[in-house]
A = this chain, B = another copy of it.
C-alpha cells in the first residue's frame, strides 16, 4: 500500500535541525521523496507500523508534526502532479518555507 508521510519539524533550535535530518533520512529508507517534506512510501502493513514507531521516536511531540495518509493499493488514480515532478533533490534544490 502507498502511505504518504508529511512532516513539519521545528528548526528554531539546533536539536530541531538534527531531528529534521533524521526524519528525512528515516523516510528515505522507506520511500521516495516527492517534495521537501513529503515522502511516498510503498510499504506492507508491518512496515507501516515500524516506520511510524521509528519516526515517533525521533520527533518532539510538543513542537513537531507527522501526518500519515493511507492511499491504499489503488493509489495511482488518487495522485495528481502539476509543475516540477521529478524527484526532489535536497542537495540541489533550495526552498525556504
Give residues in A with beta carbon < 8 Å to B: 4, 6-12, 17, 20, 34-38, 52, 55-56, 59-72, 77-85, 88, 93-97
- Specify how many copies of this chain sit in the oligomer: 2
CB distance B37 to A35 under 8 Å?
Answer: yes
Decide if B94 touches A82 in the complex (CB within 8 Å): no
Task: State whether B95 touches A10 (Cβ < 8 A).
Answer: yes
Residues of B close to A97: CB separation below 8 A: 11, 20, 36-37, 95-97
The 8 Å CB contact of A61, one of B37, B59, B84, is B84
Cβ-defined contact, B12 with A94, below 8 A = yes
A84 CB, nearest partner CB in chain B, Å? 4
6 A-B pairs whose Cβ atoms sit less than 8 Å apart in the complex: A8-B93, A11-B94, A12-B94, A38-B38, A55-B82, A65-B85
